[in-house]
A and B are shown apart, each in its own frame.
Chain A
C-alpha cells in the first residue's frame, strides 16, 4: 500500500505547475 501512496503522490505532483 505504501508504494501505491508513493505512486499517487508522484502522480499528483507531476500534474502541478512548476515554479516560475
Chain B
C-alpha cells in the first residue's frame, strides 16, 4: 500500500484527509505564521455541520476571530465582496450553513497555490519522508 506521506503529495485534499498529515502541515504553517488559514478552513467545514442552536454564536466567533480584523492572514486572502456577504449573514438570527463556503474556497485556493506546494518542498516534509 502507498505510505500516507506519499498520498499527501497527491493533493491538498489527500493531505487534509489524514490526521498526521494535518498535524505536520499545521506545524509547517505555524513556522510560516499562517496556521490560521488551516484552522479557518476546518472551522468552515465544522460550521456546516453545527446544529442550528449554536450556529449564530459560532458564526460570530468565526467572524471575530478571522475576518473582522483586516490585517489577519485569513482576512487578507478573502475578497472584499465575500467579506461583506459574511458580515450581512452574521447579523441574521438564523445564519445559512453555507455562509462561509465562498470564503473557504478562497482560502483553499490560497493554500493550493502557495502554502501547500511550499510544504511539499519544505525540510519538515522531506525529513518526515
A residues adjacent to B (C-beta < 8 A):
4-5, 7-8, 10-20
Known: A17-B18, A19-B19. A12 touches B42 (CB 8 A): yes
Interface segment among B54-62, B73-81, B116-124: the answer is B54-62
Q: How far is the CA of A6 from the CA of B8 in the complex (A)?
A: 29
- By a CB distance below 8 angstroms, the chain A residues around B57 are 4, 7
Known: A12-B39, A17-B17, A17-B19. A7 touches B49 (CB 8 A): no
Classify the secondary structure of A's interface with B: helix
Q: How far is the CA of A11 from the CA of B58 in the complex (A)?
A: 8
A-B contact list, 16 entries, CB within 8 Å: A5-B65, A7-B58, A8-B43, A10-B46, A11-B58, A11-B62, A13-B46, A14-B49, A15-B42, A16-B22, A16-B42, A17-B16, A17-B19, A17-B22, A19-B19, A20-B19
CB pair A8–B19 under 8 Å, yes or no, is no
Residue among A4, A5, A10, A13 with the most chain B CB within 10 A? A4
CB pair A15–B46 under 8 Å, yes or no, is yes
User: Top 4 A-B pairs ranked by shortest CB distance?
Assistant: A11-B46, A15-B46, A15-B45, A4-B61
